[in-house]
Structure 1
């Protein structure tokens, strides 16, 4: 089977983790086709998808120019992309120490930011009953994660290597989703006031051309769903 584009990305129109991968593909100028799975129909759990990703979640990436090499877990995908397709280190680091710190931040994003932000959204928006203790727990976790980022970004512009990397970009989609909702989650909440260094960092990431393209693609996809 021939493919016009190098990658196939199985993703979801509303899923931050899929958009994270799309941003990095855009940053590196790599061609890809996005296949949006319909979660309401359970397409992420269908055999057509789980033959690639036994976890039945998104994103899943297939690299057709590397013998259809398949990978899932979003931050593992980011590491693969920069290791194989960022020889100029546009959005990755070079020294051994920086590489470990880059991986450290990706682990923190995948274990700290993503799950806690997602659980907060679940209990605030989607859970059939309001459970105040669960909402309080996960809202506090959002603020804890933001506090960790603020403590570092108040002293340096980027997370690692003195430049924007996949470490920074990995946090962007979940922050975009959550920052827009925080004032409704907690009345009058102002991220810029509470976490000024994080807000400035976030704004610089949003100003990148790759991010603007992905935001436009995401908005169009959501509009047409």
Structure 2
């Protein structure tokens, strides 16, 4: 039996963020991809795991089936409990922990919601609302501008190595850099440091492996 069960969604970005760290730490897991069309994320069985009815959720079978939901909380749990070499965090001082936390919170409150709304209004909403599309395209550009300002002066968001802060941005950026910006913005020209950072992250073996799995599963669903 795998140590973890990861509840996720094939095209959705948030579950894959957790998969990156599970793979990086060599932890065994089984992914259960929920069918949103069948509303499985709102089933009574899943609501017992995540009362918010969203993915991801993670169950640790070797820790009395401890369950955690929200992708950033999953990352924090895995890092604190299983990253024994502290590869994906930073120092233990209050200042260092706050610096790490601020980027996790920025991803959860800034990148994820705005990129999600941009995706909805550009590609999913039955009615094209120009105001909404423009608003969230501009917010996408704003989020990238924040990252660009920081990454133009350093290689990673916190410290000198990849942390869970960096990994938390990958799956949304992978889509947004080519799909969510306003048409008059070229990502490589406007946000070169972000693009370079993203390429470094996606070249990491555990990230590349997860993204390849996602690509293959999405392609299979379209057949």
Paired position in structure 2 for 1:203: 199
SS of equivalent residue, structure 2 residue 121: helix
Matched, 1:86 2:83: yes
CA distance in 2, matches of 1:52, 1:61: 9
- Which of 210, 215, 221 is residue 219 of structure 1 equivalent to? 215
Superposition CA RMSD, Å: 1.1
Paired position in structure 2 for 1:153: 151
Paired position in structure 2 for 1:62: 59
Q: Following TM superposition, where does structure 1 have runs of at least 4 consecutive aligned residues deviating by more than 6 angstroms?
A: none
Residues 120-199 of structure 1: matches in 2 within 5 Å? 120-182=118-180, 186-187=182-183, 189-199=185-195
TM-score (norm 1): 0.95
Deviation at 1:188, TM superposition (A): 5.8
TM-score (norm 2): 0.96
CA distance in 2, matches of 1:153, 1:125: 29
Deviation at 1:165, TM superposition (A): 0.5
Deviation at 1:178, TM superposition (A): 1.2
Question: How many pairs does the alignment contain?
Answer: 220
Matched, 1:13 2:6: no
Deviation at 1:43, TM superposition (A): 0.5
SS of equivalent residue, structure 2 residue 132: helix
